Structure 1
Amino acid sequence: MYNSIYRQNITAQYCFPDNNASCRKEVRTGPGNVFLFIFLSCISVCTVFLNLLVIISVSHFKQLHTPTNLLILSLAVADLLVGLFVMPVNIMQLIDSCWYLGKVACSIYPLINGVSSSASLCSLVFIAVDRYIAICDPLLYSTKVTVCKTTLFIILGWSFAIFYVIICLHFNHNFLQSQTSTRCHGECVLVIRYSWVIADLVVSFIAPCSAILILYSIIFHVARRQAKAVQAVRNGISKKPRTKASSSSEAKAAKKLGTLIFVYLACWIPYYLSSLTVESLTSLSMVWAVFTWLIYINSSVNPLMYAIFYPWFRASAKYILTCKICFTRMFQSSLDHI
């Protein structure tokens, strides 16, 4: 009975019937696969839409050209690449096992995938550093963190991401060499050596994860200490009990930082834990696909976490969606009151 159901869901054909070296084609059909296609497509569309709103908002309005917003813009560009290129191609591979985009695209796709993920991680680390300086050294923040310095760090972060991914793909024979390593016509498989899995675990997960955790923990403790100091001044340096407003503000800060850290770890930990359980990983593995999509979903959550909860973004999104973006002066005047 199981075999009959499986044959109904997967129809075996050939990717290129006219080519004798063509790979076998497996097209996943059935209600479950249709629902999966629609669900993942909606995630891709939402990722593109949300990150485009962030990019247009920060790029169009000059009053939003601050160091923090430039880092959010860099994060949105990286996440936009994930939603615009990486997600649709991955959806196509989940539904149809054949690769129709050619051998050159088979080499370029892992490059775009790796660069967008690495650049997104760099942006997350830079945002954590920016918030650390803003909270721990607010008086010197404007001199330490400028638009020019932030732009330079963004360029360095993207350059490092491109360089690291090219080196990784080159030494794993997935960059350019993949044109001759496929077993049949219509196949595009990403194979990573176990030694590079360990190296990538350190560079792309342990190092940025440790930095983000340490910085946000310091930010939380400093924010609590500052809240206590402000409350002490308001109470006249007395031993009066803390007001509900102070406790509420600390609770909101703790909840926000906790949510940021939880979402980040929840999206990335399963991927790297699964990568340590096998010695040879392939992009066609279903476990690999599931945990990879958790990372992709992080690109959908990032604009929600880092932009939508900001008043300036809600105001700019309203003007963009209501087609009032041409009235820039009216919008800029409204930003002055935010």
Structure 2
Amino acid sequence: MERTLTNPVCLQFENVSFFCPTDRPLVIRLGIYIFLTGCIIITVFGNLGIIISISHFKELHSPTNFLILSMAATDFFLGVLIMPCSMIRSVERCWYFGKFFCKIHYSFDLMLSVISIFHLCSIAIDRFYAVCDPLHYPNKITTSVTKKMIFICWSLPAMFAFGVVITNSHVSGIVGYEALVDCFNLCPITFNKLWSVIMFFACFFIPGSVMVGIYIQIFIVSQRHANILKQASTRNKILIKIESKAARTLSLVMGVFILCWMPFFITTIADPYLNFSVSVDVYNIVLWLGYFNSALNPIIYGLFYPWFKKSFKIILSGKILHANSSSICVLAKL
């Protein structure tokens, strides 16, 4: 059996609801609220810009961009549905939204996090065929195949997350967890030893290792392509450069994801083996570092994708409301 999560004395108050004020000074709380609100705004509107750009402009309708669109939707929902409540929980050190919504929030939080890494795996596979097998890429990665990949990216994490959280499998054997929720108005992010290991390996380490392996192979092939550029035609040179640049940009997205979420998954697997001694503040820091990844993705696209800069300017200028605006050229001509 797992060791006790909190002091057993709490169990005697399990039918009592307490108001749990934060011990942080008001100035610090306001500062944190302003900073986190800024991150939420960037997350929501940055990813909304990606969603509108790829959805609206016909020139951007490609298998790779559909995967990017779906991942941006994941980050958008994280910014709209998850981050505001998590911000209040982190700043106030209390959960004001009830036990039922705690489960719903927990489920969607876990689901969207796993969905992101599933999308990154799918994008890595897409880039592998685009760079390493360009002749067969149009036949292997079609729009139909991409739709199936997106369906898997959303359905499997949804079943996993809601199944684990609704059944309380992730806290099975942890004495005192229910008391924290019922008695002290908390909604702690907690996994027992079994599920912390499953989460770490199934949702982070294994897919992360697969992605790193794929991008290493892509890098090797890209180097080979660089060596044959001198013999290639001008159009082929441009195509090779475009695919290689896209692979590098998306590998950067993957690298940022791993760096942002690695501390959280390491903390998650270590906490139950440390008798749940990791402080709430440490957990909040690593959790929000993971959330920041959703704000960084639009910034990466803006820095490295000219089409995103151009489409975003069109959206902000209002030209997107004009007739036939979906046919506006946003990609560089070969």
Q: Taking structure 2 as the reference length, what is the TM-score of the superposition?
A: 0.81
Q: 1:119–1:308: structure 2 CA closer, same or farther, 3 Å change rule?
A: farther
Report the equivalent of 1:87.
83
Deviation at 1:61? 2.5
CA distance in 2, matches of 1:184, 1:314: 50
Structure 1 segment 78-227 matched on structure 2, within 5 A: 78-169=74-165, 170=167, 171-173=169-171, 182-184=181-183, 186-227=185-226
Deviation at 1:277? 2.9
The C-alpha deviation readout for 1:163-213, integer Å capped at 9, x for no partner, is: 111233221259xxx888734163323331011111111111111111110
Give 1:53's match in structure 2, choosing from 35, 42, 49: 49
Report the equivalent of 1:305.
300
Structure 1 segment 308-327 matched on structure 2, within 5 A: 309-327=304-322
Deviation at 1:98? 2.9
Asked if 2 retains the 8 angstrom alpha-carbon contact of 1:21 and 1:185, the reply is: yes
CA distance in 1, matches of 2:253, 2:91: 32
Paired residues, number: 305
Deviation at 1:162? 0.5
Deviation at 1:230? 1.5
Structure 1 segment 231-246 matched on structure 2, within 5 A: 231-232=230-231
More strand by share: 1
Q: Taking structure 1 as the reference length, what is the TM-score of the superposition?
A: 0.80
CA distance in 2, matches of 1:118, 1:195: 18
Q: 1:284–1:277: structure 2 CA closer, same or farther, 3 Å change rule?
A: closer
Q: 1:54–1:282: structure 2 CA closer, same or farther, 3 Å change rule?
A: farther
CA distance in 1, matches of 2:34, 2:224: 48
Asked if 2 retains the 8 angstrom alpha-carbon contact of 1:268 and 1:295, the reply is: yes
2:22 alignment partner, SS class:
strand
Asked if 2 retains the 8 angstrom alpha-carbon contact of 1:72 and 1:306, the reply is: no
Report the equivalent of 2:269.
276
Deviation at 1:261? 4.8
The C-alpha deviation readout for 1:307-334, integer Å capped at 9, x for no partner, is: 6522222221111101111225255242
The unaligned stretches of length 5 or more in structure 1 are 1-18, 235-247
Asked if 2 retains the 8 angstrom alpha-carbon contact of 1:267 and 1:295, the reply is: yes
The structure having more radius of gyration, on CA atoms, is: 1
CA distance in 2, matches of 1:250, 1:160: 29
The unaligned stretches of length 5 or more in structure 2 are 1-14, 234-240
Asked if 1 retains the 8 angstrom alpha-carbon contact of 2:57 and 2:325, the reply is: no
The C-alpha deviation readout for 1:255-301, integer Å capped at 9, x for no partner, is: 75774454233212222222333325599721111111111011111
Q: 1:258–1:189: structure 2 CA closer, same or farther, 3 Å change rule?
A: closer
CA distance in 2, matches of 1:214, 1:295: 22
- Report 1 or 2 for greater relative contact order, CA contacts < 8 Å, sequence distance ≥ 6: 2
CA distance in 2, matches of 1:277, 1:330: 52
2:219 alignment partner, SS class:
helix
- Between the aligned residues of both structures, percent identity stands at 32
Q: 1:59–1:313: structure 2 CA closer, same or farther, 3 Å change rule?
A: same
CA distance in 2, matches of 1:256, 1:119: 20
Q: 1:282–1:72: structure 2 CA closer, same or farther, 3 Å change rule?
A: farther
